[in-house]
Amino acid sequence: MRYTLLTSLISLLLLACCGASANPDGLAHSDTTKDLSEKAWYHVFPTPNSDYTATSSFIMATLDTDHLDKSTDADDHSIVTSWTVEANIDQDNPIGYAVCPKEHHQQDKIKAVAAWLKALTGQEPLEHFELDNSLDFWTLDMTLAQADQVAKNPDIEWIEVDEIGHTNGVIPRAVEMPTELDAALSAASNESQSKQQRAGPIEFVSQKDAVTELVAVSQPSTVPDISNLNTYEKHGGSKSFIYHLEEGVLVKDLSQVRILVADTTMESILNWEQEFPKVAPARLQTLRAIQTGLQPDAPPPSFREHTTCTADKALGQEYGVAKGATLVVVQISRDAVTEVLDGLRLIVRDLMEHPERQKHSVVTASIAFLSKNTDLKMRVKNTMELIMNMDVPVVVSAGNAGNKPGRHFVDEIPAVLATPDFPLVVVGSVNQKGELSKWSQDGPKITTRAVGEAITCYYGLTVTHSQQGTSYSAPQVAGQIAVWLSYDTVPQGIDTSSGKLARSMRDYLATNPAAGWEREIGVRVLWNGVTESDVPFTSATLKKECFDIASRKYVERDLLRAIIEDKFCPDFVGHGSISRRYNENTMADVQISIEYNSNEPRTKDLCIRYLLGELVDACYHPADNPANYKAGGTAILGDVTFKIEPQANRQDTRPGVDMGCSSAYKGFYNEYWVWGHGFASDDWGENLENQLKGCALFPNTWGFGYGLGDNGREWSVHFKTGVFQKHCVGNALHTAGAPADKWCSGSG
């Protein structure tokens, strides 16, 4: 017969309590009448050649204590002879066990043993089946005395405690959290998306004001900081499936999450979207989950927070990595070894029934157990191996005990099982700066890391910004794997040959420069491979300089608008990076340019938005500028630079638009001298001349020229008309842009 360490530990503690071993100073000897509902001191003795560190960690975790007194050999202090611990052991309190019969196929024998177990415990044993549907073991609750009887039954192969594991979420910091779904509205209200296409099948979109952990995934090593930017492949894993192994996902209650988006006219509209819009129709539930009445889309309150958050980080619309992937809910009833095993077996069966999902799926699990190889845990390992052999990577969390003595390295199952030949993807945690989280377990078992601090997600029905743990790092990596597996052509370095994908994906994440980089020495962090040229510049942080209008280099706003909309932007769409000079040698002489190194499609709307919208209309010069002249500027968005550079030296802006006109009667004609500022700045007086043709303008008398003068002029013109045309000339000047309160002086 084989027992688990926990069963043996309880037995040892009972023997130590009731035996004659010396108790710590000041404590009376224990005896068989000791009330075991109260705490007592116990001695625990290791077996020869034990792993003392692992065993002591196991004892403390099992008995939920941080204090364990160690005694060592007098001659060799590296040898532990015993530990002393204060604990509460109640041998009459039933706990869960797994019981494996020797006979797995003879139904009469199986039924007889099951009937005996029912008679012993008063419970119907719950059956657990192998992949070939033969009985593997039963689970049921038993007292220690009942377990001892089962262990002595010659028809039982082994009995093992059904260990309850834990999720790798750290207790969050105390913060004020939103209490309703409405709290998500403000976080989502700034979200907008813009499309980008580059050569090949990969198309990108960007999520503006994305949460920090998503920003970190998109951060290339060439950019120390990308504020409020998450760039990801447009389809976001749309051809992939993410098997989420936990207690279900709150799909039903989050089916209508309020997200504020922008329509094509840039007006805000309220749109209803689902946080989990793509869920496989068939939910996978363990037999215990079904028998206890659990709903896969509405897990009970005791589980819904953690399990919904981990799913959200993998593929949630607001807070997830693979926004287009399909969620496959794999619901277990509790974090027990037997339930995890049954959940993994459900995944194997589902992949066998849907072979098209192989090479297009990933499994994420953020549950851990103590590192002790038992029959059940070896079954967990073997089933994970089956999944990986079907070309489906398995992603697990590294653990959160890194700041505890002796536990810096990964030491829990399943993460500790990872080896070069057993290619689990083991994920640790970093903070927003890329620094290793002080509690994240680390070491050679780690594949990569992702942000696991100050996580934002749907934590049940509320949005939290304070969750911490490798539980939330692992699903981000699973989401990115789903994205890569959804490409028509996977990234170079991932081998999708049958039987090789899981190991190749693990190696790609661990070593390929396109899948991660060190944010600090020795701390490699997940990266989705997006480069600066892939970043849609409409989502980048705008760096803008508006030129000073006091320099007296400026252009009329309406002239700039006409140039940008009618000339420059259409030219840009056809040519890309361009620099054009307009109205050369006039007062409206201006150089406009775009240096365009982005893969985003060139559109007229984008060109107008940043040249006219940002460098013209959003560059304000209110002081001493009544005519709203524009001095231009420079705007930089990622790899794109916009410039508007007025070239001509002009007059002071304070007079606004101004004019002077004098007329002299010459008998048979009138002679005019006109000067102006703020109109006729770009066309050498052509428009004004056309207006004056209705005023008996004499041919071959037009003499127009640009030049500054002491009276504020920027140009002047001499011309002749017939007599009695002074009022007509004034009206023509007004039509051409002169101030309405200015008229011509003089005779005629």
pLDDT, residue 327, reads 96
> What distance in Å separates the CA atoms of residue 595 and residue 577, rounded to the nearest whole number?
5
DSSP string, 411-442: -EETGGG-BTTB--EEEEEE-TTSPBPTT--B
Q: pLDDT for 155-185, tens place per residue? A: 999 999 999 887 776 543 333 333 333 333 2
pLDDT, residue 257, reads 53
Instruction: At 145, give phi and psi (nearest 5°).
Output: -65, -40
- The packing angle between helices 5-18 and 52-63, to 10°, is 80
DSSP string, 566-616: IIIHHHHHHHSSEEEEESTTSTT-EEEEEEE---SPP-HHHHHIIIIIIII
> What distance in Å separates the CA atoms of residue 498 and residue 389, rounded to the nearest whole number?
8
Lowest mean pLDDT, pick from 102-116, 267-281, 543-557: 267-281
pLDDT, residue 16, reads 39
List, by residue range, all CATH 3.30.780 domains of the chain: 658-746
In the three-class reduction of DSSP (H, G, I as helix; E, B as strand; rest coil), residue 361 is classed as strand
> What distance in Å separates the CA atoms of residue 552 and residue 544, rounded to the nearest whole number?
20
List, by residue range, all CATH 3.30.70 domains of the chain: 95-162
What mean pLDDT is predicted for residues 465-474?
A: 93
pLDDT at 90 over 70: no
pTM higher than 0.75: no
CATH number for region 542-646: 3.30.430.20
pLDDT, residue 180, reads 34
List, by residue range, all CATH 3.30.430.20 domains of the chain: 542-646
With pLDDT > 70 as the criterion, what percentage of the chain qualifies? 80
What mean pLDDT is predicted for residues 453-479?
A: 91
> What distance in Å separates the CA atoms of residue 482 and residue 487, rounded to the nearest whole number?
9
pLDDT, residue 18, reads 34
pLDDT, residue 539, reads 58
pLDDT at 87 over 90: no
pLDDT at 13 over 50: no
What mean pLDDT is predicted for residues 362-368?
A: 94
Mean pLDDT over all residues of the chain?
Answer: 83
* Greater pLDDT, 595 or 213: 595
Q: pLDDT for 505-526, tens place per residue? A: 999 999 999 999 998 899 999 9
What mean pLDDT is predicted for residues 292-302?
A: 86
Q: What class has domain 167-173+181-534?
A: alpha beta
What mean pLDDT is predicted for residues 285-289?
A: 95
Pairing, β 326-331 against β 284-285: parallel
pLDDT, residue 412, reads 93
In the three-class reduction of DSSP (H, G, I as helix; E, B as strand; rest coil), residue 28 is classed as coil
- The packing angle between helices 470-486 and 301-315, to 10°, is 40
In the three-class reduction of DSSP (H, G, I as helix; E, B as strand; rest coil), residue 278 is classed as coil
* Greater pLDDT, 49 or 416: 416
Lowest mean pLDDT, pick from 20-24, 55-59, 73-77, 589-593: 20-24
pLDDT, residue 581, reads 97
Amino acid at 347: I
pLDDT at 582 over 50: yes
Lowest mean pLDDT, pick from 229-243, 320-334, 430-444: 229-243
In the three-class reduction of DSSP (H, G, I as helix; E, B as strand; rest coil), residue 505 is classed as helix
Lowest mean pLDDT, pick from 88-92, 421-425, 583-587, 647-651: 88-92
Question: Which tokens belong to 127?
Answer: 């059956």
Architecture of domain 658-746: 2-Layer Sandwich (3.30)
Q: Which of 363, 365, 380 is nearest to 328 (CA)?
A: 363
Pairing, β 715-721 against β 703-706: antiparallel
Q: pLDDT for 678-712, tens place per residue? A: 999 999 999 999 999 999 999 999 999 999 999 99
What angle (nearest 5°) sits at the alpha carbon of residue 233, between those of residues 191 and 542? 45
As a whole number of Å, the end-to-end CA separation of the chain is 126
List, by residue range, all CATH 3.40.50.200 domains of the chain: 167-173+181-534
pLDDT, residue 618, reads 85
Domain 95-162 has CATH 3.30.70: yes
* Greater pLDDT, 54 or 495: 495
